[in-house]
Amino acid sequence: MITFESVTKRYPDGTVAVDRLTLEAPTGRITVFVGPSGCGKTTSLRMINRMIDATEGRILLDGVPVQGIDPPTLRRGIGYVIQQAGLFPHRKIVDNIATVPYLLGWDRKKARATAMELLERVGLDPALAGRYPFQLSGGQQQRVGVARALAADPPVLLMDEPFSAVDPIVRTNLQDELLRLQSELNKTIVFVTHDIDEAIKLGDQVAVLQVGGRLAQLADPKTLLSEPADDFVREFLGQDRGIRRLRFISTAGLRLRTDLTVAEGFDGSSPERWLLVVDGDGRPLGWRSSDRPEELEPFGTFVHGTDSMRAALDAALLSPSGCAVAVDERGRAVGVATRQALDEALAEAADG
């Protein structure tokens, strides 16, 4: 666990970057620092590994004040990932990843073997090991940056806007990958971003900072969205706060209709305006409307019980039928969530 005890950072020119910050980043969890530019996110992060020293207050790592630990020893247990990866340009990828193991004096063979394992772990092709950083895409470099930070298996990982410099699709992949890795590794992660969506997606808890380095709110994402502490947080969360909340509402209780599904080739009549046509394996093929039964209309799916209400609504909006197709993990239709069912679930969510 990382504990901030009334930590203040005043730079020599008098700027107060962090103002009496008190919070705990629990072991094995992702804590996100989010806030507008200049609110002290990076300063707070760097005080953990003593790249910057606090002016007042204490930061404790599992109860031990970091100020009492010499920086090289401290940093051995703390991985650090920054924007644009910060790789050494003249070192091959494998040697970039093995940087800390080499510094720790590991046998070169063992260090390289670990690096190769990590390369795969972060979703990269081992064939990239012999390349130089400039021969990789931005997203690939960022993955190497994560692998390098994990190389000596540190319990703590500090990540400073690690995914900011890549395009939105790559960014989404990197976020998903981080969550997957974290479910295996259970590191204590402190993650800095200015992007509230990223904070809500990744954080087990989110610390919203305000310019002047004051903590505006510390909460889990769901609570943050439903109970913002003040106007600053409400404004920072943006106008689609309600839509984002849908991500935390399960589709497990969504009522499904199973009588709207027909097999391919069905040419009978039905009082229903829309019927879902499925193939021999039960996979959806499209919606058949009673007006134009010869054509199949587009559909959207969500995994019932696994995906959130946000995914279910998204699926409904993708189709002219206005209904969302519920599928199982293998993509087979298990039923249809009609507008009425979605409406009921939304009404319940609004009450809760």
| Using rule CB under 6 A, residue 42 touches ligand ATP | yes
CB of 149 to ligand ATP, least distance (A): 19
Q: The tokens of 160 are what?
A: 């400073």
Stretch that binds ligand ATP, among 7-15, 77-85, 114-122, 226-234 (CB under 6 A): 7-15
| Using rule CB under 6 A, residue 40 touches ligand ATP | yes
Torsions phi, psi for 325 (to 5 deg)? -95, 120
Q: DSSP E strands: which ranges in the chain?
A: 2-10, 16-25, 30-34, 56-61, 64-65, 78-82, 156-160, 188-193, 205-210, 214-219, 261-263, 274-278, 284-289, 296-297, 301-303, 324-327, 333-337
For residue 174, count other CB atoms closer than 10 A to its CB.
21
| Using rule CB under 6 A, residue 39 touches ligand ATP | yes
Side-chain-facing half-sphere of 165: CA atoms under 13 Å:
17
| Using rule CB under 6 A, residue 13 touches ligand ATP | yes
Do residues 185 and 177 lie in contact, with contact meaning Cβ atoms separated by under 8 Å? no
| Using rule CB under 6 A, residue 88 touches ligand ATP | no
Query: Which one, 38 or 322, has the nearer CB to ligand ATP?
Result: 38
d(CA 303, CA 174): 22
| Using rule CB under 6 A, residue 162 touches ligand ATP | no
Query: Amino acid identity of 121?
Result: R
Long-range residue pairs from 98-105, CB within 8 A, at least 24 positions apart, any chain: 98/151, 99/148, 99/151, 100/76, 100/148, 100/151, 100/152, 101/151, 101/152, 104/76, 104/152
Stretch that binds ligand ATP, among 22-30, 39-47, 254-262, 284-292 (CB under 6 A): 39-47
If binding means CB under 6 A, how many residues of this protein chain bind ligand ATP? 13
267: left (phi over 0), alpha (psi -120 to 50) or beta: alpha
Do residues 324 and 313 lie in contact, with contact meaning Cβ atoms separated by under 8 Å? yes
Query: Which one, 38 or 155, has the nearer CB to ligand ATP?
Result: 38
| Using rule CB under 6 A, residue 206 touches ligand ATP | no
| Using rule CB under 6 A, residue 210 touches ligand ATP | no
Stretch that binds ligand ATP, among 10-18, 66-74, 103-111, 225-233 (CB under 6 A): 10-18
CB of 211 to ligand ATP, least distance (A): 7
Among 10, 91, 121, 194, binds ligand ATP (CB under 6 A): 194
Taking the CA atoms of the chain, what radius of gyration do you get in angstroms? 25
Among 29, 41, 244, 304, binds ligand ATP (CB under 6 A): 41
CB of 318 to ligand ATP, least distance (A): 35
57: left (phi over 0), alpha (psi -120 to 50) or beta: left
Residue with tokens 């800390």: 100
List the interface residues with ligand ATP, window 16-35 (CB under 6 A). 17, 35
Among 6, 15, 27, 340, binds ligand ATP (CB under 6 A): 15
Among 3, 43, 301, 338, binds ligand ATP (CB under 6 A): 43
| Using rule CB under 6 A, residue 212 touches ligand ATP | no
265: left (phi over 0), alpha (psi -120 to 50) or beta: left
CB of 65 to ligand ATP, least distance (A): 21
| Using rule CB under 6 A, residue 305 touches ligand ATP | no
| Residues near ligand ATP (CB under 6 A) | 11, 13, 15, 17, 35, 37-43, 194
